[in-house]
Homo-oligomer: A and B are copies of this chain.
Amino acid sequence: MPIEVIAFDADDTLWINEPYFREAEVKFCELLSGYMPPNQAERELFAVEMQNLPLYGYGIKSFVLCLVETALKITDYQIPPRIIEEILGYGKEMLEKPVILLEGVEEVLSTLYGRFRLVVATKGDLLDQERKLRKSGLEKYFHHIEIMSDKKEADYSKLIRHLDIRPEAFLMVGNSLKSDILPVLGVGGHAVHVPFDITWAHEQIDHAVEHANFSQMATIREILAFV
């Protein structure tokens, strides 16, 4: 069955994202280095994030709420309120970051446009992802944007049902093996992995993927030869 819909992950597949989170994390750990060594603070933050994930979900606002909670914890409630304000400022800054496209993205989308139904399939805050899509200049290539609260098999099944296609007609392109590739293969879709140079610990898996519907690519441009 031919591919009908190609879904693209957004963050670190179409544009740079993870480095902004890392940058904020580094600043945060520096800011509190008088209370705790940075690498330990980073672990505390990750623990708070994982604990809050089922409740908060993904995105910058969740991240900032976790930064505030972690700051309270690692300073043992001795944090000066001005530092809380600085942390809120990190979030606002992230929400206004420029959108920097990854290499080859525009060429790939403009070539595929009109030949497939193209959608964005991403986690995070709707408003923020819409902002990035608008700033990216890529909006014109996409039929619509699908915000997913998570990227597990059930979420992809729902997405594919919503698209009114069979799983075999669905191709997902993304940088996270855990979120963009494995669950898609699990529900019978096709998946292409285009790695980004850094991956959030939560998105890492420690085994290789082998599957008839799976392709590993070095750059997004290779999709053009593939479809």
Contacts and interface: CB of A to CB of B under 8 A. Distances in A.
Which applies to chain A's interface (DSSP): helix, strand, loop or mixed?
helix
Contact of A95 (B55, B79, B88): B55
For this chain, the copies found in one complex come to 2
Contacts of A144: 158, 162
A147 B126 contact: yes
Contacts of A126: 57, 126, 147-149
Interface string A54-89: 011100011011001100100101111110110010
Smallest CB-CB A-B distances: 9 pairs: A57-B127, A127-B149, A61-B61, A77-B81, A126-B149, A55-B95, A79-B81, A130-B149, A126-B147
Interface of A: 55-57, 61-62, 64-65, 68-69, 72, 75, 77-82, 84-85, 88, 91-92, 95-96, 125-128, 130, 144, 147-150, 158, 162
